[in-house]
Amino acid sequence: MIPQLFVEKIDLGDGRSITIETGRLAKQADGSVVVRMGDTMILATAVSARTSNPAVDFLPLTVDYREKFAAAGRFPGGFFKREARPSDSEVLTMRLVDRVLRPLFPDDYHAETQVMIQLMSHDEEVMPDALAGLAASAALAVSDIPFYNLISEVRVARIDGKFVINPSRTELEKSDIDMMIGASLDSVAMVEGEMKEISEAEMVEAIKFAHEAIKVQIQAQLRLQAAFGKKEIRTYEGEKENEEIYKKVKAAAYDKIYAIAKVGSAKHERSAAFAEVKEEVKALFTEEELAADGDLVSKYFYKTNKEAVRNVVLELGVRLDGRKTTDIRPIWCETDYLPRVHGSSLFTRGETQALATVTLGTSREANQIDSPSEQGEEKFYLHYNFPPFSTGEAKPLRGTSRREVGHGNLAQRALKNMIPADCPYTIRIVSEVLESNGSSSMATVCAGTMALMDAGVQMVKPVSGIAMGLITDGEKFAVLSDILGDEDHLGDMDFKVTGTADGITACQMDIKIDGLRYDIMEQALGQAREGRLHILGKLTETIAAPRADVKAHAPKIITRTIPGNFIGALIGPGGKVIQELQKATGTTIVINEVDEQGVIEILGTDPAGIEAVLAKIKSITFKPQMGEAYEVKVIKMLDFGAVVEYTAAPGNEVLLHVSELAWERTENVADVVNMGDVFEVKYLGVDPKTKKEKVSRKALLQRPPREEKKE
């Protein structure tokens, strides 16, 4: 028997709609839904363990998003023809959903929880990542998992001045805004995206527009939940609590922590001082008490620490390192630090340091994107590495983390629209985070800007970035510029904004509280603008403009376009011509066919080698014009003429027939020309009889007068 299906429809107001259904698929999961828009279908499931590990003091939540190649009617690439590790785009979608869901579970819920989202059918006109948050929340809505605040996510674009929700990929190409917004009914929880130098007011307007669409989607989830029959939320064992221990810890630690926090100190000095207070607190308990409740002592010490530090900021306006709320840490920068890379820079802000390198290449080095929902390539991309020594830790390396993928993507989006459209290079930036205490991703943006200019990439405008924080008790609030790592952990917001002097290019915001007011968001954006302009000034003091040219040891790239019918001649049989040419000139030559034209990229460090390639291309594509005169050189003598080569196009040969040498009858070719002779000939086009090109020497000579016949 087919089970009962429950369906809710969301009208987007422009003829498009989204449906959410439950009751048919994956019924053994705690909650499951199918979300459909056009022919794109996503299955989302939510499962949570019935018991939790008492030793775990956090929510072990896993959000997984996967795109099945079968969804697009395609085979996976590679030898095994099976989906393997998630792509960067899948990881980024996981992060988008995780960042909104995680803060909305109960603080004391620690059961293993897994939300799995799968793309099962793909419509090229529907971008599936914009539906993943809706699907995840809806799956939780029809489950009994403790999750009280439903959410959704949408993409917002602005096309010809008009905001659009969940545009197609084609529409997105025309937009100056590409933002993903996640929110509950009451407040915005997450923002991430890229923009083409928009103002702070325009950004807030886009967020508000998206939030209204999200409210409609949450109402649909509530209707589905009611129709399906809202399940009674499961009971669970919360965290162990002991009010007496909390009071004892707070009484012993609060004033001491407050005193340390208001003085202002460096990270290691401050950490050592807090650790000393913690040891003093632990000394108030017996070994037996610590064995039984040591975890509570640590928990309450952290809670007290958080409260004291936050109160110092709210009451005194003083931060952990002694700065005021709007102060930026000291900055020093350096370019051309690494002698043999194509471009490099060091950016240091306080206790955060990033070393960026730029590598220039041809289109052959473009980053290939091959996923069920997107195919193409990136000619500009950025990789971000966060080694454990950057925070003074020793940890095993287990490949690129989700965090590294996400931070690298944010920095890439911040910079990519400032790469000129006519830049011939493929560009790779690598950011090595060497020290970290507060927004290494924004340090990456700043270091990346300087490294690009050091490499001679003619950036449209330089870009800087800043991370903003927030501390609020519901009434009073403080917006913090250039946050520390501790302020990120103890605060209520992490808001990263990048931009030029003229507008915002990218942003990423995570809110850890309910009900962020728009006036606070607007103040944060205004304060962020002041901060990033200050940082931008430091960058341009170090390097005011891009270098006029690439460095001597960096490859120069020259592009040429030739008619498509000459591509084969340049490549040669089995690639012989192009391979020998690359070997002889020390260059790399890449040929791409675009619109029946051959686009040739010549990459090399030796100008003479590049010129030799250009000469060869000119030779191969040389096409003489009817009636024009050209200089030639004799390269071969034959009984019936001479083979000549155009001096302007070496290797381009044509037969000069004996009958076209001179007006007088020529019995012996050598009587008129010899090997190595240089002279001009006239191009006569293609002989209709022989179908071969024809040139003439005599046509450029004065014709002798005819002799009169004797009677």
Chain segment 652-691, per-residue pLDDT in tens: 889 999 899 998 888 898 989 999 999 999 999 888 888 8
**Contact indicator for 427, 400 with CB cutoff of 8 Å:** no
Question: Which residue type, as a one-letter code, is found at position 553?
Answer: H
Q: Give mean pLDDT, residues 258-284.
A: 90
pLDDT of residue 405: 94
Q: Are 493 and 515 in contact (CB under 8 A)?
A: no
Rounded Cα gap, residues 114 and 691, in angstroms:
74
- Cα–Cα distance between 429 and 408 in angstroms, integer? 10
pTM above 0.85, yes or no: yes
The CB density around residue 661, as the number of other CB atoms within 10 Å, is 21
**Residue 421: φ, ψ to 5°:** -60, -30
CA atoms within 13 A on the CB side of 83: 15
| pLDDT higher at 570 or 514 | 570
pLDDT of residue 446: 97
* Helix (H) or strand (E) segment spanning residue 705: none
Q: What is the mean pLDDT of residues 50-64?
A: 88
When pLDDT is cut at 50, 70 and 90, the band that residue 84 belongs to is: confident
Q: Which residues of 267-283 are buried (b: 16+ CB within 10 A; e: fewer)?
A: beebeebbeebbeebbe
**Residue 292 CB: number of other CB atoms within 10 A?**
12
Considering the chain, what is the average pLDDT of its residues?
92
Bridge partners (DSSP) of residue 682 are 629, 696
20 pLDDT exceeds 90? yes
Residue whose C-alpha is closest to residue 312's, from 256, 355, 351: 256
- Least confident range of 294-303, 319-328, 429-438, 617-626: 617-626
The one-letter code for the residue type at 663 is W
Q: To 10 degrees, what angle do helices 576-585 and 607-621 make?
A: 150
Residues 494, 498, 501, CA angle at the centre, nearest 5°?
140
Q: Report the number of secondary-structure helices (H) and strands (E) in the chain.
A: 14, 29
What b/e string do you get for 418-443 counting C-beta neighbours within 10 Å, with b at 16 or more? Answer: bbeeebbbbbbbbbbbbbbbbbbbbb
pLDDT digits (tens, 9 = 90+) for 454-498: 999 999 999 999 999 999 887 889 999 999 888 888 888 899 999
pLDDT of residue 708: 58
Question: Which pLDDT band, with edges at 50, 70 and 90, does 279 fall under?
Answer: very high
Distance CA 430, CA 447 (A): 10
Q: Are 150 and 129 spatial neighbours (Cβ–Cβ below 8 Å)?
A: no
366-393: pLDDT as tens digits: 898 888 888 889 999 999 999 999 988 9
User: Scanning the structure block, which residue is given the tokens 């109160």?
Assistant: 311
Q: Which two tokens stand for residue 552?
A: 């001597």
By DSSP bridging, strand 678-686 and strand 629-638 are antiparallel
Element (H, E) at 358: strand 352-361
Rg of the chain in Å (alpha carbons): 35
Which amino acid would we find at residue 350? G
Return d(Cα 577, Cα 584) in angstroms, integer: 11
Cα separation, 119 vs 117, in Å, equals 7
- In this prediction, residue 707 has a pLDDT band, given cuts at 50, 70 and 90, of low
Residue 704: its pLDDT value, please? 83
How confident is the model at residue 694, as a pLDDT? 92
Please tell me whether residue 130 adopts helix, strand or coil conformation: helix
Contact by Cβ (8 Å): 345, 450: yes
Which tokens in the block code for residue 465? 């970035």
Encoded amino acid at 247, one letter? K
Burial of residue 170 (CB within 10 Å: 0-12, 13-18, 19+) is exposed
Tokens in use for 134? 């809706």
Question: What are 169-225's pLDDT values in tens digits?
Answer: 999 999 999 999 999 998 899 999 999 999 999 999 999 999 999 999 999 999 999
Q: pLDDT tier at 621 (50, 70, 90 boundaries)?
A: confident
Stretch 267-275: mean pLDDT, rounded?
Answer: 90
- Percent of the chain clearing pLDDT 90 (strictly above): 67
**Whole-number pLDDT of residue 516:** 76
Q: Which residues contact 226 (CB under 8 A, 6 or more apart)?
A: none
> Is the pLDDT at 77 greater than 90, yes or no?
no
What the block records as the tokens of 637 is 């003598």
Which pLDDT does position 709 carry in this prediction?
Answer: 53
Cα dist. 148→6, 20, 104, 438, 517 in Å?
21, 19, 7, 32, 21
- The length of the chain is 711
Residue reference for tokens 């200019």: 453
Burial track 9-45 (b if 16+ CB lie within 10 A, e otherwise):
ebebeeeeebbbbbbeebeebbbbbbbbbeebbbbbb
Q: What does the pLDDT average to over 431-455?
A: 95
Determine the residue type at 93. Answer: T
* Between residues 115 and 564, the one the model is more confident about: 115
Matching residue, tokens 């995840």: 136
- SS3 per residue for 182-242: EEECCCEEEEEEEEEEECHHHHHHHHHHHHHHHHHHHHHHHHHHHHHCCCCCCCCCCCCCC
Name the band, by pLDDT with cuts 50, 70 and 90, for residue 13. Answer: confident
Query: How far apart are the two ends of the chain, measured CA to CA in Å?
Result: 119
Nearest CA among 66, 10, 4 for reference residue 35 = 10
